[in-house]
Structure 1
Amino acid sequence: MKLLDNWKLVLLLCLTLGLAPYFPEPHLWGKLKWVAGGAVGMAYMDWFDLLLHGTPFLLLLRVVIIKLRTPRLQS
């Protein structure tokens, strides 16, 4: 679990797995536009693909929330 709290690793996952392939547009962005358009024609594989490419961003959101909620020690 400590590995998933490393924001540098999670950010790297977002930039690689989360956005790949990059051209003509990031894959996750295309899937989100498809869902926003009503998800017409999406198969189970497309939903799994959305989950796969979206997970790094969910982990990043988790790390940010944990960092904001954790009190910092004053030195």
Structure 2
Amino acid sequence: MAFLDQIPLSILILAALTLGLAPFLPEPHIWEKLKMLAAGELVKPIDWFDLALHAAPWLLLIAKLVRMALVRS
């Protein structure tokens, strides 16, 4: 978990809001991919790879926030 401790929270927030949501119009790309996943339309390997890339900043941010909450307890 030392890896998460070394990443500044501000960098993760910035990454989640930019890389995690880009492109912003007509809808955030991560949202489009999550809708495809829920509908069972996420079948191409490139779509899975795209979902992983757009989800990674969000997953790291969530992991960092959970880690910070657990360390403070």
**TM-score by shorter chain over 0.5:** yes
Shift of 1:71: 2.6
Structure 1 partner of 2:24: 22
Q: Percent identity?
A: 42
Moved over 3 A (4+): none
Give the number of the structure whose residues are more often helix, by fraction.
2
Q: Specify every segment of 5 or more residues in structure 2 that has no aligned partner in the other structure, as ranges.
A: none
TM-score of the two chains, using structure 1 as the length reference: 0.85
1:48 corresponding residue in structure 2: 49
Would you say how many aligned residue pairs link Structure 1 and Structure 2?
69
TM-score, scaled to structure 2:
0.88
CA RMSD of aligned residues (A): 1.3
Alignment of 1:1-75 (within 5 A): 1=3, 2-3=6-7, 6-39=8-41, 42-71=43-72
Unaligned stretches of 5+ in structure 1?
A: none
